[in-house]
Amino acid sequence: MQNFSGKVVAITGGAGGLGRALAREFAAAGAILALLDRNEKGMDEAARDSGAATQPFLSHVDMSRPAEVCAAMDDIASKLGRIDVLINNAAVCNSKPMWDLTEADWDEVLGVNVKGLFFALQSAARHMPAGGAILNIASVAGRVGRPTLLHYAASKAAVISITRSAAVELASRGIRVNAIAPGMIDTDMLHQLQQDWKSRAEGVPPASAQPSSASTLFGRPAKPSEIASTALFLASDAASYITGQTLNACGGIVMS
């Protein structure tokens, strides 16, 4: 088992399904947790559910507001001394045909998934010692066509690009930057998307263009714990020579 004893691990989107799984996984490895989310109640529940030996540091923050994101990272470093690992997990998604996308849709998705992620990375890196790790949660949507998720797919392609560039920039500081590209994860976000696809009467692309359990080699979505355990490895010293990479953890939807 990987040992994160005494290491400060900041997780954005800590109140969501994957965020909670990440919190449990890193807490079990001994990490000191800092959870960030705009959902205060969900964050409290995630903290209680994490099983962390010490009370996680909780920060109520809107990831689409860079000033809040940077202030939150500064606060974590001030209170906990540093940030050893950042898991950029916060994301939003909605499903619409290309023809129905509005400027507001783009602003919402890019504001959290790209702008918020970047400023979290930038501000956390300022407080990260050599040997630190940043892990961005991307998606296979950033690698393939997703007609009803065009703006979301674009945002995740940007995450993959940011990961590469930041890895080059931060290598001289001894900080690694990687990403995970999940496919479907059994969380509320997936359930809501599936409901949207079922309820939409028109504008739906062929089934082959939509994510489904049948598109994975295992015939099921990922458990959040399966993505969390992948994150644990990439953030650990066992992956000390891996940087600038995006690992597909998608049940074979995409192969590299």
234, part of any domain: yes
31, part of any domain: yes
27, part of any domain: yes
Q: Which of 91, 152, 175, 179 is catalytic?
A: 152
How far apart are the C-alpha atoms of 16 and 14, rounded to whole Å? 6
In the chain, the number of structural domains is: 1
Whole domain around residue 221: which residue ranges?
8-249
The CATH code of the domain that includes 151 is 3.40.50.720
Q: Regarding predicted confidence, which is higher, 222 or 32?
A: 32
How far apart are the C-alpha atoms of 135 and 119, rounded to whole Å? 14
**Which tokens hold the place of 227?**
């993505």
| pLDDT (0 to 100) of residue 203 | 47
206, part of any domain: yes
How far apart are the C-alpha atoms of 139 and 187, rounded to whole Å? 14
3, part of any domain: no
User: Strand pairing partners for 136?
Assistant: 88, 179
Q: Regarding predicted confidence, which is higher, 236 or 198?
A: 236
pLDDT tens digit string along 9-62? 999 999 999 999 999 999 999 999 999 999 999 999 999 999 999 999 999 999
- Residues 141-170 have a mean pLDDT of 94
User: Strand pairing partners for 222?
Assistant: 185
pLDDT tens digit string along 103-151? 999 999 999 999 999 999 999 999 999 999 999 999 998 998 878 889 9
How far apart are the C-alpha atoms of 121 and 140, rounded to whole Å? 21
DSSP letter at 206 equals P
How far apart are the C-alpha atoms of 113 and 115, rounded to whole Å? 6
Active-site residue, 241 included? no
How far apart are the C-alpha atoms of 247 and 234, rounded to whole Å? 9
pTM of the model: 0.91
Are 153 and 114 a contacting pair, CB within 8 Å? Answer: no
218, part of any domain: yes
Segment (H or E) for 121: helix 117-126
pLDDT above 80: residue 96: yes
143, part of any domain: yes
pLDDT tens digit string along 187-207? 656 455 556 555 554 545 544
256, part of any domain: no
